[in-house]
Amino acid sequence: MPAGGSESSMSGPIKQFNKRLLIGIFVIIISTIYLITLSLDAASAIYMTPSELVSYTTKPEERLRLGGMVQAGSILQQSDNKLEIEFTVQENDSRVRVEYMGATPDIFGDNAIVFVEGYYINGIFSADTLLTRHPDTMEPLSQEIIDSDSNDSY
């Protein structure tokens, strides 16, 4: 960020800043920081893989994001309302049942990598958003791809 330059130029020999202007700048910066801290918690979700979620004691109001692979053959569509679906997200031996209502993205299906967001209540993950990952790799989707999302390498 270019803060370095501004500070050094302000520390120059001549500095005459209009008070109202200075206050204006100050207000903008403070309110930006305030907005950031205020919105960050409200708009963020804790990211978990199925194995972490299974062993995690959640608070019902805690917004979570779950990433993993859709277990083959686990997708169940309600017969009376086809928008209501249930499926299992798995990672190795850990499995979480997810319920979701809405249209699904293109790639959604068996073995697709999905990210769902919502709340984990009584062993069921109730999702309100469903995203699929668009892989650019030619290799079959492997567990490493999910793991690479944890950004461990940096």
Partner 1 sequence: MSSFTDLGYIFLGLSLVIAVYACIASLMSVRSQNNSLRTRSLISMYLIALLMVSAASVLVYSFINHDFGLRYVTMHSNRSMPLYYTIAAFYSGQEGSLLYWSTTLSVLTAISLFIYRNASYKIVGYSTTILAAVFIFFVYVLVFHANPFERLPMDMPDGQGLNPLLRDPGMLIHPPLLLAGYMSWTIPFAFGIAGLLSNDIGIRWIQLIRKPTLVAWGLQTGGLVLGGWWAYHVLGWGGYWGWDPVENVAFLPWLTGTAFLHSIMVVERRKKLQLWSISLLIATFSLSIFGTFIVRSGILSSVHNFAESDVGHYFLAFFATSLAASISLVMIKSKSLTDVTTFESATARESGFLINNIIFVSIAFATFWGTIYPMISEALGNQRITVGAPFYEKVNGPLFLILLFLMGIGPLLNWSNTKREILLQKLQLPISVFTICLLIGIGFSGDIVLSLGFSACSFVLATILYEYLTGAKTRTRNSSENYFYAVYSLLKVDRRKYGGYLVHLSVVILAIGIIGSSGLQTHKEINMPINSQTTIGEYTLEYTGSATIEKADHTILASQIVVSRENRETTREMLPQTIYYDNFETQPTSRVAIIPFIKEDLYIFQSGVDANSATFAIFINPLVNLVWVGSSLMILALTIIFWPVSDKRKYKTHSKSS
The footprint of partner 1 (CB under 8 A) covers: 1-6, 8-10, 12-18, 20-21, 24-25, 28-29, 31-32, 35-36, 38-40, 42-48, 65, 67, 81-83, 102-107, 109, 111-112, 115, 117, 131-138, 148-151, 153-154
Cβ atoms within 10 Å of 100's Cβ, excluding its own: 21
**Concatenated DSSP letters for 61-118?**
T--EEEEEEEPTT--EE-SS-TTEEEEEEEETTEEEEEEEESPPPTT-STT-EEEEEE
Residue type, 147: D
The residue to which tokens 């967001």 are assigned: 117
69 Cβ contact partners less than 8 Å away, ≥ 6 residues apart: 89, 90, 91, 111, 112, 113, 114, 141, 143, 146
Sequential DSSP letters for 122-149? TTEEEEEEEEE-----SSPP-HHHHHHT
CB-nearer residue toward partner 1: 88 or 146: 146
Q: Name the token pair of 9.
A: 């130029």
